[in-house]
Structure 1
Amino acid sequence: MTTLADIASCVSGYDPNALPVAQAQDFISRLVPQVDAAESLPIRSALGRVLAHDVVSAIDVPAHDNSAMDGYALRGSDLLVDAPTALDVVGTGFAGDSAVGEVLAGQCLRIMTGAVMPAGLDTVVPQEFVEANDGKVVIPSGIVRPGDNRRRAGEDLAAGEAVLHAGRVLRPADIGMLASLGQAEVRVRRRLRVAFFSTGNELRSVGETLPPGCVYDSNRYTLWAMLQRLNVDLLDMGVVRDDPPALEAAFRHAAENADAVITSGGVSVGEADHTKQVMAELGDVLFWRIAMRPGRPMAIGRIESGGHAAILFGLPGNPVAVMVTFYAFVREALLKMGGAVPQPLPMLRAASVKAMRKKPGRTEYQRGVVSRATDGSWQVEITGSQGSGILRSMSEANGLVVLHHEQGSVEAGELVDVLPFDGLV
């Protein structure tokens, strides 16, 4: 097994005390393994799951040339260029019926959307463009060209074509694609198992009384909500006191029962060392100071117990820092572990309503509200105080303003990158 030191040697610019976001992401990408196990599921149960193998079409979709609309099917060679075309109507074709008999030159077929195109016919004229009377239709010149309004066999999917590729997270359109192939089941990766808990003697779960000096644990509920979007199996281990035996028992249970373990709290400089000490005793763990704001402290590595290893993500304790580090590092790592091919999250370019101060040398994530300016362009305004403990700033925002590592201060009106929350949080 590759050690963390081996991985660090492959990461350009690796410095655990001032690690740029890009290098931390590179490190994590090299660290995380993929699950191998797969299962077959009915396609209605496969939404959001990761495809285990390429799906190859066994049939053409559609299976036959067919009409794209209601109208009249004809031979394109019958259309006159400089005069109306008159044709005899010799029958009607309905969707779901087998093809009618031969239609000769100078004839046409009344046809409905989806109906099979008879041999030799290659064009459909919409019904509203013709004059129909006494078994004949008259088509004005220039209304259609040969080949118009015909769907070709295999136009959507061709037999033998790879339709969906392994690693794809199945979306609603993909489920429809599978159904169009007549495929009732699909092979998907098993769900990733993720354990998570919070550490700290001051934390209380929702529903418990709140003694003086204590706070409710919001991080665990935020993590639960973010993880729900990733379609993983969750093991919520609650709040673990800052006590070595309790921490060791929690880490061992998590390592034995999950593929990944996420903790919040206990990794900052100046905090009690129990959490970091237990992490280090149970595996190969690094403690980083990442060049970012919020979310500087983080632990990353592997912990082992009972012959089973799990990837560890030790996140900061401040609520906003938990969310930012999750989206910056953990989300994509979990997708990769689950067998998905992660896709970069799209960034929106928006004009900053106000100036923002920033020094180059770290990545900053500001909480912002994106809206339309009077000229229709996108603009973004920061949601007040940006302290890492102010969860309200995330609740009020609809995106994160990403100020990149080498970027300096931003003037009012300057374009910045924004990571929209829609579909993410």
Structure 2
Amino acid sequence: MNLLDILHSELNPVPVSQEIVPLIEAGGRVVSEDIRARIPLPSYDQSSRDGFALASLSEMGASYRLLEFEAFAGNSETISLRAGEACAVMTGGLIPLGASRVVPKEHCAPMADTLQLDLAAMGLPPFIQRVGEEVGLHEIIIKRGELVQAEDLGLLASTGNGQIPVYRRPRVGFFATGTELLELGQAPVAGMKFASNHYMLAELCSLYGSEGHNMGRVSDRGEVLTKLFSEIVEGDLDLVISTGGMGPGRYDLLEESFVAAGGRLVVNSLPMLPGRSTLVGWLGTTLFYGLPGTPRAIRPLFTELISRSLLAMQGLLENAPVQIEARLIRDCRLRRADVPSLQGGKLSYQDGRVWVERVARTGSPDCFMLVPAGSDCLEANSSVRVHLTRSPFSR
């Protein structure tokens, strides 16, 4: 178990409340209770082939009296067949009473009111799907804590489930600290920079099934931060993320204000890169993450840590990142060797192996390499553990 696993286990975020949504909105949601079949599938004995329904098949080359009735899908009328009788039936059609099998039409020779079978018909299966053969009445279709996938929707509809209990989407607030931040549209000013983190956080929250709420820019002043934290305690947000204000500078007052507002501190630094300027704790029942201000640090910390909290809040039982082994395409030199680090990577597949290389500063990673402490350079062709960045909610 690595450092982030231990922290996630200690935080142990619990699922949020549930809500009922119509089936059309249930895709990509996590069910909050076992979903069972309200009706069996199929709900009636049906034919699995176009052909003829027979009361019995006891003699090779037998001849049957052909009735003027056709059982087709959507026809709820039926008849009773007696020994020696047959009628036409289509795929999905209701099996007549007394019928024991369906013989595909390619093995049948209908002539006026008589049906003749070829010799191969004796060895064929019955081609009848009985009630509940695919899904039994009250059988579990999706278990609590599982994600509703596209292919599940048709099955849910077929078994009569039109309203689905799911965990609601977590409400996530995020804000940036700093008086040096400008909004897009404002004129550039020396010593100021454009606020950018909230754009990335909004997308990441959506990517992990959550509702993102931009709380804007917040002053570095301690009393302003303390007031905001007190409001969060009284509010309805499930998780809050701040960026910036976590350094050793005289204006980095986030931790001090967090404690002053009654926040319960879990960690105020992670012994890894990125992560040294990271605060994690609770503001009442709201989980709080104070992250560094640089986007290059925010993405790996969100993917490796915050995303797991969001998935757990949605009741998703499998919330740990998918881990695989890959080999380095080229040498990877590290800035520091005394602490473990997360390095953004790009995966490729060649010669039956998975390969990875570190992404450029402006690149978009599809994985993060988990680099242990103790080496300032990982050599080409060496094996490294990687976590995939793909969200389980990705379509």
How many residues are paired up?
386
Find the partner of 1:371 among 348, 352, 362. 348
TM-score under structure 1 length normalisation: 0.77
Which residue does the alignment assign to 1:295? 275
The counterpart of 1:400, out of the listed 352, 367, 375, is 367
Q: In the TM superposition, what is the alpha-carbon distance from 1:393 to its structure 2 partner? A: 2.1
Taking structure 1 as reference, are residues 67 and 142 closer, same or farther at Cα in structure 2, changes over 3 Å only? closer
SS of structure 2 residue aligned to 1:34: coil
Aligned residue for 1:285, secondary structure, equals strand
- Name which of 35, 40, 43 aligns with 2:16: 35
Q: Does 1:25 align with 2:25?
A: no
Task: State the shift of 1:214 in Å.
Answer: 2.6
Instruction: Show structure 2 runs of 5+ residues with no match.
Output: none
Among 324, 328, 334, the residue aligned to 2:300? 324
| Counterpart Cα distance in 2 of 1:144 and 1:263 | 71
User: CA-to-partner distance for each residue in 1:241-288, whole Å, 9 max, x for gaps?
Assistant: 212122223323333321211111222455743111111212111334
How do 1:13-412 residues align onto structure 2 when only pairs under 5 Å count? 20-29=3-12, 32-36=13-17, 38-74=18-54, 78=58, 89-90=66-67, 91-98=69-76, 100-105=78-83, 107-127=85-105, 129-130=106-107, 132-134=109-111, 135-139=114-118, 141=120, 145-147=124-126, 149-257=127-235, 258-269=237-248, 272-282=251-261, 283-304=263-284, 309-356=285-332, 363-373=340-350, 375=351, 377-385=352-360, 390=361, 392-394=362-364, 397=365, 399-403=366-370, 405=372, 409=378, 411-412=380-381
User: 1:180–1:271: structure 2 CA closer, same or farther, 3 Å change rule?
Assistant: farther
Q: Is the 8 A contact 1:349 1:378 kept in 2?
A: no
Query: Contact 2:16/2:167 (CA < 8 Å) preserved in 1?
Result: yes
Q: In 2, Cα distance between the equivalents of 1:55 and 1:202?
A: 51
Cα 1:95–1:331, aligned 2, differ >3 Å: closer, same or farther? same
CA-to-partner distance for each residue in 1:69-88, whole Å, 9 max, x for gaps? 333445785485xxx77666
Shift of 1:300: 1.1
Corresponding letter in the other structure for 2:148: L
Q: Distance in 2 between matches of 1:209 and 1:143?
A: 85
User: What's the secondary structure of 1:40's corresponding residue?
Assistant: strand
In structure 2, relative to structure 1, the CA distance for the partners of 1:252 and 1:64 (3 Å cut) is same
Cα–Cα, structure 1 residues 61 and 363, in superposed 2: closer, same or farther, change >3 Å? farther
**Contact preservation (8 Å) 1:20, 1:363:** no
Structure 1, unpaired ranges of 5+: 1-11, 13-18
Check the 8 A contact 1:295/1:324 in 2, yes or no: no
Secondary structure of the equivalent of 1:141? helix
DSSP 3-state at the match of 1:253? helix
TM score, norm. by length of structure 2:
0.82
Measured in 2, the distance between the counterparts of 1:74 and 1:292 equals: 73
SS in structure 2 at match of 1:323? helix
Query: Cα 1:63–1:289, aligned 2, differ >3 Å: closer, same or farther?
Result: same
Structure 2 distance, partners of 1:123, 1:350, is 54
Residue type of the partner of 1:371?
Answer: S
Deviations 1:120-173 (A, max 9, x none): 54544544x4353425354463896424x4333113322222333333343333
Q: CA deviation at 1:291?
A: 4.0
Deviations 1:148-204, CA, capped at 9 Å, x for gaps: x43331133222223333333433334333322333323333432221111123322
Deviation at 1:356, TM superposition (A): 3.6
Residues 51-107 of structure 1, C-alpha deviation per residue, up to 9 Å, x if partnerless? 333333332121122123333445785485xxx776665442101223632334555
Structure 1 residues 104 and 296: alpha-carbon distance in aligned structure 2, compared to 1, 3 A threshold: farther
Matched-pair contact (CA < 8 Å) for 1:261–1:311: yes
Alignment CA distance shift 1:381-1:274 (3 Å): same
